[in-house]
Structures are given as structure tokens and as C-alpha cells.
Structure 1
Amino acid sequence: MSRARIRLVIAATAAVLAAGTLPASASAQAAPGAGVSARHHQPPRWQQPAETIRQIPLQGAVNVRDIGGYRTWTGGQVRQGLVYRSDALSKLTAADITTVSGLGLKKAIDFRIPMEVQYDGADKLPPGLSATARPISDLGLYGTLVGAIGSGDPVKQEQMLGGGRAEAYMRDIYRTFVTSPENRAQFATTLREIADGGQAPLLYHCTSGKDRTGWMSYVLLRALAVPEATAERDYLASNTFRGAYDAQVRAGLKQSGRMQNPDLLIPLQEVRQDYLDAATVRMEADYGGFYGYLTQGLGLDLRTLTKLQSRMVR
């Protein structure tokens, strides 16, 4: 590619990212059945065909997906088979490991903190592949849950999680995706590795594959010029994939007597638009918008963002 062509591509990428997203009236429609509805947008002037979320069905993990397939508002499509998102891989069966082996992964990134790995177990991966620890803070949420459930005390559980406290906790966690230098560094490193392409196919995950993984995926999709509404619906789809499993967890806690009111966990188990909004509002306040978050908050230069587009969009 000539220098003039490179400059043109970089300029085009800058224009796309500076715009952030098209106006709501030009947002694409995402797949049906993608969890809780996103905030209302104005009716679109045009619609692209509904897109199917590409889940990888496994027995020991319920929220494993290929990030590819989405259309961008620049007319491209995110390539499939390059980046995967998931919940923890510590409970994979032998058959699951065979399925994961078929993805040809070169790297698996674990966003869990050490306490989560200690309690839930290390990832079970195909031979020759080991997880790269890249912990992103949960503000002590996992420890809070362990303490609340372990106490078996309904009064203590209500004091810790009831009265909107669980929801407030989640919003605080999402804000740290923007405000914490350590968290931003982990997200930025992952985006640079995706842009480099040398370790593709690549997978990243946390415990439930919905919050840290959900934000990572939201940022990646928007950086690829996937419409904001589509990126939101991909984020909210975790409710669809996790719903039945999370309900079983609550039923088990009720039956065992460890929680009298396991519905206290629902705000922690779900993804919600207002959690995502807590992060994006903070992003607007600190960096003036998505482009500022990418370039100032995550420290990604235009060449890296151009490489990301080139690698991931066809």
C-alpha cells in the first residue's frame, strides 16, 4: 500500500471514530431475542437485515460467542473466526474442549481476579494453550458475594444487596472501566493484540462473560464502526444466554438454605442498559465521547485503530 493510500485510510478511520456513531435515526437493528431492550431510539430511516448472534454451544459455559458477523455503518462486516468472547472456561467438559480446540485459538485472555480463579478454578483449555491472566477489578464484588452467600444470614444479605445497593454496586463497577488506569490498560492491551492479529484467533473472558467481557466487546464493536444500537444489543444478549443457568443457581441457593431471597442476586446476574449507561456517561464526562476514550483513555493511536479496522472488517 502506498503512503498516500495509508494516509487516506488513516484519515477515513479517524473520521469514522470521531463521528462515534451515526445518529440514532441511522442505527441498524440487531438480532431479535437479544435480551433486555436497549433504550429507545428514534425510528430508523433504513434497516439492515436482522443479524444472528453466533453462539458456540458448550456444556460447561453458556455465554461463548463469535464477535464477528455484524455489519458496520460504513458498509463492511466484522470478520468471523478471529475474536471470541465467553464466560469462564473452568467447567468445560472433554467434549467442550474438543469444540474449543476446533476454533484454533492462539490466545485465551482471562479478565478474572485471582480470587475468582481460586474459587472457580483455572480455565480448561486445549493442549498447548494456557490462559493469559489480565485481571480487571470487580471492586470487590466477588468477595462481597462469597461473604453474603456464605453467611447464610438473610438479614445480612438484605443489608448488603437489597434496597438498590446491588444495582448501585454494578454501576460503580462499570464506571471503573473508564476511570481506572489499570482497567483501561488491560482493555487497551487486548485491543492492540487484536489489531496486531498475530495471536488470532483470540478469546477473552471473565466469570460470567457479561460485564468486563461485555464492555470489552462493546468497545471493540464500536471501534469497528458497528452501530451503537447493535453494540448495545450484543451486550444485552448476555441476559438471553445466561438466563436459564442463573435461574438454576438461584433455585439451588434457595433449596440449600443459603439464601432465603436469592432474587437479591438478579441485579448482579443481569446486564442492564443503565449499567452500560453509567460507563458511557462517565466516558462522555472524562473524554468527551467514544473517540476520546479510545485515543486518550486507552492511548490507541490512529495507526492502531486503522490496523484494527483492517484486521477485523471485510
Structure 2
Amino acid sequence: MRRARNRLVSAVLACTALAAAAVPSAAYAAAPASLPQHRHRSAAAGAATSTATAETIRQIPLQGAVNVRDLGGYRTYTGGQVRQGLVYRSDALSRLTAADITTVAGLGLTKAVDFRIPMELQYDGADRLPPGLSPTSRPISDLGLYGTLVTVISSGDPVKQEQMLGGGRAEAYMRDVYRTFVTNPENRAQFAATLREIADGSQGPLLYHCTSGKDRTGWMSYVLLRALAVPQETAESDYLASNTFRAAYDAQVRAGLKQSGRMQNPDLLIPLQEVRRDYLDAATAQLEADYGSFYGYLTDGLGLDLRTLSKLQGKLVR
């Protein structure tokens, strides 16, 4: 009974792999394999703006994960293009099917970096990976969000849920989480270590992920793309695209919560399930306040020297 309750709770958390009831694989097919590069925003986040470019997002279609992508293909403002097949971003890989594992094996990964904290692993389980590939645990703080949501959802109390998540409190919480990506020294060290590994010429294809593949993974991807001289608008579009890839699955989870009686108003979770431009803005404003510029964040905040930044360019941009 306790295990079933744990699975239900873990399934619905905004920053978790949504695992509650068994979601049909058809839910994953709703995310297009190739998506125009524009600013994806839900109705709650605001209308989409910006014109689509010729670039597309390269999704890796899987049954047990919805937000797996090759980060390559983007044009840089220096006239180059990010190489494909070297860096992948993902949501949790703990529910991959046997067919998924075969697909992932075909990527030739030499490292899979897991940003989840121990509590997430406890509820969601370890990654399922091809033989010979073990996850590298590199936890990045969620500022207690996961534990808070476990408590709130487990309570089944609509008053408590409204008090915790309503009235803009969920959005404020998410902005605080994003600020800690910049202010927390342990978080900075984990992001920096991953960037150094990506820059390492002896390191083969690498994948990094959190649980939903949108916040910690989204920030990591935004920083990497900006460091590679991908235009800021393009890096933002990659970040916001998680809303499109996760929309059908997240909506199904909310419907399951309502049907189960766990939440009378599961829409309270939407600000936690989505990525939003103002969340990203909270992090970028923090880095400017602390380090003066994005370059200052890379060098002073993350401790990346010019040699490492040059190696990133040389390895990933053609």
C-alpha cells in the first residue's frame, strides 16, 4: 500500500518523472519528432511569439521518456553549427522499455549524468541504461520542492494545496529554484563539472538529465548553448520547447489526480509542470547581479577558464 502511494505521489510532481497510473505509450507520440524553433508558451505562460526558423529540435522518440533531445544542429552567431550526436538532454530514464534501451544504446553514450537528488531516486528509481553504462550521480538542489510536493499531494487536502501552491506561490517558488542554480555553490560546481566533461576531447557522447528534463536540465542546456555562441533567442526557444514535449503527458497526470480524488484543483500544478520565460529570467537576472554578465558567470561563477571554453567550441561547433 505504501509503495502504491509513493508511486502515485511521485508520478504527479512537477519536477518528477510522471509515473502515477500507467500512461499509454500513445501519450508520448503526441510530442512531434521535429519541432519548429520558436518560443513555445502555454496559455498559462503567455502567447507564443517569434518567427520559426529553419532549425528544428531533434527529439529521440522513446516510450518511457518524453523530453529526450539531441542538443546539436543549432546555428551560432559566428556562422558555425553545433555538432549532432555529442550531447543529449533528457527527462528521467528510470522507466525506459527494452526497446527504449536499445534506442539509447544506439546513441553511443559514454556517460549519463543524473541531476536528481536522493529523494527523487527513492521515489522514481534509478536510470535504466544499456549494459556497460552506469549513471553518474550529480545532484542539483531543487530547494526542497520535491519534498514539499510529496507532502502537499499526499495530504489530499484542497485547502492546504491551495495555501501552498495557489495565489502565485507556485510561480514564486519556481523563480527561487532558478535563482539557486546561480547562487548555490554546490549547484554551480555540478553544472561546471558537466561542462568540463562535455569539453573533454576524450569524452564521447554524453547525456544529462533531471526528472522532467526541463528545469535543471533546461538551465544546463541554456548555459551550454549560450557558451557555444548560439543566439540567446535560440537558447531560450530550446528551453521553452519542454512545454510542447511534456504537455500531453502532464495533462494526463492532472486528470488522473482529479479522478483519484488526490486534488480537487490539479491545475495548481501547472506552474510547476511548465517552463516559463520569467523562471529563466530570474536566473539570468541573478547571474547578472552576481557576476555582471553571462561571460562573468561562466568564468567567475562556474570557474571555467578560457582553455575550457575554447575546447567546448572546438569540440561541439563545426
Is TM > 0.5 for Structure 1 vs Structure 2?
Answer: yes
Which residue in the other structure is 2:227 paired with? Answer: 223
Q: Contact 2:170–2:271 at 8 Å: present in 1 too?
A: yes
Helix, strand or coil at the partner of 1:275: helix
Indicate conservation of the 8 Å contact 1:39/1:273, yes or no: no
Indicate the residue corresponding to 2:111 in structure 1: 107
Give, as a single letter, the amino acid of the residue that structure 2 aligns with 1:221: L
- TM (normalized to structure 1)? 0.87
Residue 149 of structure 1 corresponds to: 153
Contact kept in structure 1, 2:39 and 2:236, CA below 8 Å: no
Aligned to 1:289: 293
* Residue 204 of structure 1: how far off its partner (Å): 0.1
Q: Tell me: CA distance 1:288–1:39, structure 2 relative to 1, closer, same or farther (3 Å).
A: farther
Aligned residues: 281
Cα deviation, 1:194-240, whole Å, max 9, x if unaligned, reads: 00032220000000000000000000000000000000000000000
Matched, 1:255 2:259: yes
Residue 70 (1) aligns with residue 74 (2): yes
Q: 3-state DSSP class of the match of 1:52? A: strand
Alignment match of 1:310 (pick from 301, 309, 314):
314
Deviations 1:278-305 (A, max 9, x none): 0000111100010000000000000000
Residue 275 (structure 1) aligned with residue 300 (structure 2): no
1:168-207 mapped onto 2 (5 Å cutoff): 168-207=172-211
2:77 partner letter? W
1:121 and 2:115 are equivalent in the alignment:
no
Q: Distance in 2 between matches of 1:197 and 1:260?
A: 52
- Structure 1 residue runs of 5 or longer lacking an equivalent are 1-29
Match of 1:130 among 125, 128, 134: 134
The alignment partner of 2:95 has SS state of: coil
Q: Secondary structure at the match of 1:160?
A: helix
Is the alpha carbon distance of 1:63 and 1:77 closer, same or farther for their aligned partners in structure 2, counting shifts above 3 Å? same
Q: Distance in 2 between matches of 1:199 and 1:142?
A: 32
Contact 1:62 1:241 in 2 (8 A): yes
Which amino acid in 1 is paired with 2:41?
V
Cα deviation for residue 33 of structure 1 reads 5.6
1:35 aligns with 2:40: yes
SS at match of 1:271: coil
Determine if contact 1:34/1:240 at 8 Å carries over to the other structure.
no
Structure 1 residue identity aligned to 2:180 = T
Structure 1 match to 2:171? 167
- String of CA shifts for 1:115-138, please: whole Å, max 9, x gaps: 001000100000011100000000
Aligned to 1:207, what secondary structure does the other structure show? coil
The answer on 1:85 being equivalent to 2:78 is: no
Larger radius of gyration: 1
Q: Is the 8 A contact 2:91 2:209 kept in 1?
A: yes
Q: Per-residue CA shift, 1:1-29, capped at 9, x if unaligned?
A: xxxxxxxxxxxxxxxxxxxxxxxxxxxxx
Match of 2:20 in 1: none
Deviation, 1:50, is 2.0
Assess, with a 3 A threshold, how the Cα gap between structure 1 residues 48 and 313 changes in structure 2: closer, same or farther: farther
The residue number in structure 1 matching 2:245 is: 241
Write the distance in 2 (CA, Å) between the matches of 1:246 and 1:31.
Answer: 21
Deviations 1:85-118 (A, max 9, x none): 0000001000000000000100000000000010
The structure 2 residue matched to 1:95, chosen from 99, 102, 110, is 99
CA RMSD of aligned residues (A): 1.9
Q: Name the % identity.
A: 84
CA offsets, 1:134-158, max 9 Å, x none? 0000000001111111000001111
- Residue ranges of structure 2 left out of the alignment (5+ in a row): 1-34
CA distance in 2, matches of 1:74, 1:267: 35
Closer, same or farther: CA 165–310 of 1 in aligned 2, 3 Å: same
